[in-house]
Amino acid sequence: MRTLDEDLRRAAATAPDREAVVAGERRMTYAELDAAATRLAAHLHALGVTRGDRVALLLPNGAEAAVAIYGTLRAGAAFTPLNPTIKADKLAYVLRDCEAVALVCDEVLSPVAQEACEHAPGVRHRVAPEDLRPPGAGGGADALPHPPISVDLAAIVYTSGSTGRPKGVTLTHANMAFAADSIVEYLAMTADDRVLCVVPLSFDYGLYQLLMCVRVGATLVLERGFAFPGRVLELLEHERITGLPGVPTIFQLLTSAGGGLAARELPSLRFLTNTAAALEPGAIDALRTAFPGALLYSMYGLTECKRVSYLPPDRLDARPQSVGIPIPGTEAWIEDDAGRRLPPGDVGELLVRGAHVMQGYWNDPEATAARLRPGRWPWERVLATGDLFRADDEGYLYFVGRRDDIIKSRGEKVAPREVEAALHAAAGVRTAAVVGVPDALLGEAIVAYVVPDDGVTLQPAALRRHCAVHLEDYMVPARVELRGALPTTPNGKVDRLALTEEAVTSC
Amino acid sequence: MGETEQVDTGLRAQLRAYVEEAFLYLHPDVELADGDRFLELGVIDSLGFVELVEEVQDRYGIAVEALEITEENFGSIDALVAYVERRRTS
């Protein structure tokens, strides 16, 4: 059993001059990443951060984020990766919830960090990017505390909960190392791989690209998000990228923007991976036309166990809508409400067992009990995903729907209650309801229905602006509709189904 | 003022008005200079750039190729002005 930090030490010892992280103009070797991680660990140690403490990371994709992750782990602490577009209220909540003692943040974000820290007195230290550079001389490794072991906490990754409050998924080194190994195995990753990561490292999909590359000593090319298809195509070619992880929104933007794709030959590109939402058959065809030499992996997962399943690329033609089979070393099956395993074809809840299953939600035994159930052995707990699935005769899994009202937009989870709470806080709003409607580009588009207070005139644009100020970018409603009243069910609750139907037909 | 500068001023005002109307209103705390990068300030994200590219195609009749959708061409007001001028005259 190993810790994540051992992967970096090994990569740095095996191939010190190999590129670990490429971000913009910055090219960092494994030796440099290793030295910078040691420096940060020593710095954190000197600040009084000790084994098991939580360090929150508020950084855009870049070499600093990689240093911050491994430096925190090397200090024996656990990291909490945060979306760089997080706003002060939620940041303060998360900092308090995970009891972070330090916050590593980018200069651009510091006003948000400043405001949040005023409401999170437990955060004793702020670490700026200049502390994340490789050292000029001297290591300081001798000053490091006793290293963590594999059962220690490695990360708390926050995910949207249907209550509207984010929940902290707790993961040990063993959890994360196992999940990384399993994915490395089915993607057949080696030190020769060069992965282009345009999804944020604060999203576990992005985070694992780093963990997997470091595990095998491969190179990770990091971009601050996916904004410019031309930039991505240029990187694919010039950086000789072998693997491109994406979500349907990204792949659609990449294949639909203008011409020019077919003109490029990308002999290095070996695989594409898709998760967060299914690719439509048309999108699969477009990807195969644009990248004829690359294998396409359809996958499914949730932060609570990182990844559940993958579809071997040679099964894609026969089962284009399946998310495949459990990842290596794990099991998944479908149960009814009474906990009985269901035969092929029947729809029920998907359950998962394996060393990747989280330890629970931080500080939330109730939510933990709802997701982690007694397993095959007295010590084992299995994960109830909350998602409805069916399996075919050969065990291939098919996503059917969600049990809660969580919206998936741009590959990210959005709790309607979180968006509604932001709208309720806006002046002149009597009530608001938020639903997701199918959208070719977004997966689901967020639509908000707002009832103004009597005599008040509200502007949809102003309400969207209010949301943009208080919520992460991906949570801002695509549309805001004003209503005199909201439809209700016979027992007086907002009728979400009726609103969803209305939103779909009015598109 | 020379003719080119006048064209530039008109185009610049037009593009700036569009960016303000379509994106900047969501970020009341941001003061955007013409050289500031949209992405770095978080003013326009990946989906926003899709809208921006469509606007440039529709309003100026330019067929934008995927490879041209880069920060150098679409990343700031200055970049947009230079790109649109170059493509309109070519």
Q: What is the DSSP string of A72-141?
A: HHHTT-EEEE--TT--HHHHHHHHHHTTEEEEEE-GGGHHHHHHHHHT-TT--EEE-GGGGSPPSS---G
A479 interfacial to chain B (CB closer than 8 Å): no
Query: What is the rounded distance in angstroms from the CA atom of residue B15 to the CA atom of residue B21?
Result: 10
Query: What is the rounded distance in angstroms from the CA atom of residue A356 to the CA atom of residue A176?
Result: 7
Contact yes or no for B67 and A258 at CB 8 A: yes
Q: ipTM score here?
A: 0.77
pLDDT digits (tens, 9 = 90+) for B34-59: 999 998 888 888 778 888 988 999 89
Crossing angle of helices B46-60/A248-256, nearest 10°?
A: 20
Of A193, A206, A197, A75, nearest in space to A141 by CA:
A75
**CATH number assigned to the domain covering B3-89:** 1.10.1200.10
In chain A, which residues have their Cβ closer than 8 Å to the Cβ of B24?
A: none
* A428 contacts A434 by C-beta, under 8 angstroms: no
* A300 contacts A273 by C-beta, under 8 angstroms: no
Contact yes or no for A261 and B66 at CB 8 A: yes
Residue A268 is classified by DSSP as T
Provide the pLDDT for residue A443: 86
- Among the partner-chain residues B28, B40, B70, the one whose CB lies closest to the CB of A231 is B70
Provide the pLDDT for residue B1: 47
Query: What is the rounded distance in angstroms from the CA atom of residue A98 to the CA atom of residue A362?
Result: 7
Crossing angle of helices B3-22/B77-89, nearest 10°?
A: 130
Smallest CA–CA separation between A61 and chain B, in Å? 12
A476 interfacial to chain B (CB closer than 8 Å): yes
Q: Which residue stretches of chain B have pLDDT < 50?
A: 1
User: Other C-beta atoms within 10 Å of B73: how many?
Assistant: 21
User: Other C-beta atoms within 10 Å of A260: how many?
Assistant: 16
Of A267, A197, A207, A171, nearest in space to A82 by CA:
A207
Residue A406's identity, in one-letter code, is I
pTM for the whole thing? Answer: 0.89
Residue of chain B minimizing CA distance to A250: B46
Interface mutation target, options A25, A83, A107, A228, chain B, most CBs of B under 10 Å = A228
* B9 contacts B85 by C-beta, under 8 angstroms: no
What does the mean pLDDT of chain B come to?
86
A486 interfacial to chain B (CB closer than 8 Å): no
What does the mean pLDDT of chain A come to?
92
Residue A388's identity, in one-letter code, is L
- Among the partner-chain residues A227, A465, A468, the one whose CB lies closest to the CB of B46 is A227
Residue A475 is classified by DSSP as G
Smallest CA–CA separation between A465 and chain B, in Å? 4
Smallest CA–CA separation between B28 and chain A, in Å? 8
Compute and round to an integer the Cα radius of gyration of chain A. 23
Query: What is the rounded distance in angstroms from the CA atom of residue A162 to the CA atom of residue A475?
Result: 14
In chain A, which residues have their Cβ closer than 8 Å to the Cβ of B69?
A: 228-231, 257-258
Smallest CA–CA separation between B56 and chain A, in Å? 13
To which residue do tokens 């209220």 refer? A89
Q: Where are the domains of chain B?
A: 3-89
Question: Domain A407-505 class?
Answer: alpha beta
Tokens of A120: 């999170």
* A433 contacts A494 by C-beta, under 8 angstroms: yes
* A296 contacts A316 by C-beta, under 8 angstroms: yes
Smallest CA–CA separation between A117 and chain B, in Å? 20
Partners of A443 in the beta sheet?
A409, A439
First and final CA of chain A: distance in angstroms?
Answer: 52
**A 260-299 → B contacts, CB under 8 A:** 260-261
CA A349 to chain centre: 22
**A 332-351 → B contacts, CB under 8 A:** none
Residue of chain B minimizing CA distance to A467: B26
To which residue do tokens 């604060």 refer? A202
Query: What is the rounded distance in angstroms from the CA atom of residue A401 to the CA atom of residue A404?
Result: 9
- Among the partner-chain residues A85, A228, A476, the one whose CB lies closest to the CB of B69 is A228
Tokens of B22: 């379509």
In chain B, which residues have their Cβ closer than 8 Å to the Cβ of A234?
A: 67, 70
A249 interfacial to chain B (CB closer than 8 Å): yes
- Among the partner-chain residues B25, B27, B70, the one whose CB lies closest to the CB of A230 is B70
Contact yes or no for A230 and B68 at CB 8 A: yes
Of A410, A432, A440, nearest in space to A496 by CA:
A432
Q: Which residue stretches of chain A have pLDDT < 50?
A: 137, 139, 260
A403 interfacial to chain B (CB closer than 8 Å): no
Smallest CA–CA separation between B4 and chain A, in Å? 28
- Among the partner-chain residues A229, A442, A469, the one whose CB lies closest to the CB of B66 is A229
Provide the pLDDT for residue A61: 94
Residue A280 is classified by DSSP as P
pLDDT digits (tens, 9 = 90+) for A196-255: 999 999 999 999 999 999 999 999 999 988 888 889 989 999 999 999 999 998 898 888
To which residue do tokens 């035969």 refer? A343
In chain B, which residues have their Cβ closer than 8 Å to the Cβ of A233?
A: 66-67
A230 interfacial to chain B (CB closer than 8 Å): yes
A51: Cβ contacts below 8 Å, ≥ 6 apart: A75, A76, A77, A145, A146, A148, A152
Contact yes or no for B66 and A476 at CB 8 A: no
Q: Is A140 left (phi over 0), alpha (psi -120 to 50) or beta?
A: left
